[in-house]
A and B are shown apart, each in its own frame.
Chain A
Amino acid sequence: MDWGRIRFFLGEVQRNFTRNAGMQITAIGTVAVTIVMLGIFLYARSALIHAESGVFSQIEISVYADPAATVAQETVIRAALAQDPRIRSVTFVPKREGLAQMRRLMKGQIDTSLLTENPLPDKFRIRVREAQEVPAVARSIAKLPHVQNVEYGREVVQRLLQLAAVMRPVGIAVIVLFLLVAGIIISNTIRLTVFARRREISIMQLVGATNMYIRMPFICEGLLAGIFGTAIAVGALALARASLVPKIASALPWLPMNTVAVDLSTLVLELFAVGAAVGALASWIAVGRYLRA
């Protein structure tokens, strides 16, 4: 290991970094702002996706058999349901059990002892593999013979499905846009620092430094700007999370934000990776333009 060489290189990086402090602060600030927005976005997204999948996994289709249907006819229904590959599970709830459940649920609200006979039909509770298939499955079950009624939270399911369908592409587009803007600003900032060092670069080229060697300090610079910016952003996000999330949760209790479920360490790692990559890539492009010119 040639420590003198490493020391020289680090000295060059540190010299550039401190000499162009103003520009570096601009770059770091840009990264920080971008990463904060990205962080909020990713956080909200993963919280929502979690909430969404929680809701989706609980969607249930209730299939009510015709009260007049015989056991044999109900067996036919059950067989048809079992054959449908879209259906994950089928639970048969005979009317006696249904009444018992209702008694438990409605205890104190309705006096079920007044009932002289069981008004409930036999019921199948169905869970579907893919939430998107709920409406289609419900429609096809409704066509089966001796099925009186099929119910699921039509409105809720449709809203959720629409939301999910919009969230993904919009999310990706927003992220790409953020990164593009950050990349352009960092690239321009680094170009200014490259310009400030054009004399040094031309001497390096003259004495036979490779383009790779000339690039390295700038890339490290970009990398540092990215990492510093992300560190600031993560700090700000952590503060915001600690102070804001409990307030949001108590102000909007209906918002299914299961904040515990968001994997924070992965999120932070992702943010650092993105910040560092954007910084390094932007400098690579900025220096490349100069070296070719």
Chain B
Amino acid sequence: MSLVYPNGVRALDNISLEIGKGEFIFLVGHSGTGKSSLLRLLYREMAPSSGHITVDGIRVDRLARGRIPALRRHLGVVFQDYKLLSDKTVWENVAFALQVTGAHTRDVQRQVPRALDLVGLAHKSRMYPNELSGGEQQRTAIARALVNNPKLLLCDEPSGNLDPANTTEIMELLRRINLKGTTVVVATHNQAVVDRMRRRVVRLDNGRVITDEERGYYFLGLGQDQILSG
């Protein structure tokens, strides 16, 4: 599968990748190597120039415009900048994802507390985003992404704006979510995170997959300790 931007840049060049159900996978590589582009293709922010993409049996590349909302209700997306609404409380931000997709009030009442419990923010549900720490904001965003019970969670640099302590917290949360059966895809260039988690690592460079390892490190075959000591 390839993605060529209108300006001629080949963001993704003949990529072939299979992600299994319930996997936890890191996409690593320098900025501009196509990690975000790959995620955008998965939630159909963009369509590939050639090739095909299947998410949970749906041919995402062929999806008609009108079917995109249905796809997105079955996956969650988390960003570096959280994308929370500052004039809504934590509870309202999470509920928003259900309300704007026409969910019934009783489903909102049931699902929102569950998602907030999962990310450990039930006690802060009435606070506004700017009253929260970065880590808490990201946890709110994750709760919003999970409130629909998606099978797939896409994270684009989830720890990009966070300090190490908060990063650890978020990664622990993602690990727990993954243990519950949700497939998690994390695009990151945080070496510490990748090396600590020891999960599948897909390394992108210049729009191509250059390595794909089970239990990989950020750098090919090398853990953080080895780099520091070597």
**A residues in contact with B85, CB < 8 Å:** 199-200, 203
Within 8 A of A (CB), among B14-71: 43, 66, 68-71
**B104 and A5 within 8 A (CB):** yes
Question: Which of B95-103, B119-127, B157-165, B172-180 binds A?
Answer: B95-103
**19 A–B contacts, CB within 8 A, in A order:** A2-B105, A3-B105, A4-B104, A4-B109, A5-B102, A5-B103, A203-B85, A203-B96, A204-B96, A205-B69, A206-B77, A208-B68, A208-B69, A208-B73, A208-B101, A208-B148, A210-B69, A210-B101, A211-B69
Is residue A202 within 8 Å, beta carbon to beta carbon, of the partner chain?
Answer: yes
Is residue B139 within 8 Å, beta carbon to beta carbon, of the partner chain?
Answer: no
Q: How far is the CA of A210 from the CA of B66 in the complex (A)?
A: 8
Is residue A209 within 8 Å, beta carbon to beta carbon, of the partner chain?
Answer: yes
**A204 and B83 within 8 A (CB):** no
Total A-B pairs, Cβ < 8 A: 58
**A200 CB to closest chain B CB, in angstroms?**
6
**B100 and A204 within 8 A (CB):** yes
Q: How far is the CA of A200 from the CA of B104 in the complex (A)?
A: 21
Partner of A208, one of B70, B83, B87: B70
Is residue B72 within 8 Å, beta carbon to beta carbon, of the partner chain?
Answer: yes
Is residue B153 within 8 Å, beta carbon to beta carbon, of the partner chain?
Answer: no
Q: A2-B105, A5-B105, A199-B85 are in contact. Are A206 and B100 (CB under 8 A)?
A: no
**A202 and B99 within 8 A (CB):** no
- Measured CB to CB, the nearest residue on chain B to A209 is B100
**B residues in contact with A2, CB < 8 Å:** 104-105
**B100 and A207 within 8 A (CB):** yes
Within 8 A of A (CB), among B91-139: 96-97, 99-105, 108-109
Partner of A203, one of B70, B83, B108: B83
